[in-house]
Amino acid sequence: MQKQPGRIYHLYQKQGSVEKYFSMLAPNEWGYQEKKEEFLGSYRLEYDRSWTPVAEMDRKDEEVARLQQILQRGPARLTWGS
């Protein structure tokens, strides 16, 4: 299955291994199982194929909105602050 930009993925590391992988399942969605993976965090896949930690999504969205504003209106009409 190919990862889709805009979706949230959860990063895990297999115990006793350096191998890490992304899953669509959050830790609370696994159900009962012997703990074989360590949860490392949740990330959103961006359209440029970079990863943004969920905790930083608002900042990233503001950054993208500012860039879109510059591209659409030009820097002379750029406004700062809320």
User: What pLDDT, on a 0 to 100 scale, did the predictor assign at position 73?
Assistant: 78
Taking the C-alpha atoms of residue 34 and residue 80, their distance in angstroms, rounded to an integer, is 50
Full-model pTM:
0.75
**47-57 b/e (C-beta count within 10 Å ≥ 16 → b):** eeeeebeeeee
- pLDDT, mean over the chain: 87
- Looking at residue 20, its pLDDT comes to 95
Domain boundaries, the chain: 8-75
Convert the pLDDT of each residue in 33-63 to its tens digit. 667 889 999 999 999 999 999 999 999 999 9
Counting every residue, how long is the chain?
A: 82
Note the pLDDT of residue 37. 87
Sorted by sequence, the CB contacts under 8 Å of residue 5 that are 6+ apart come out as 45, 46, 47, 49
Selection from 69, 67, 14, 22 nearest residue 43 by Cα: 22
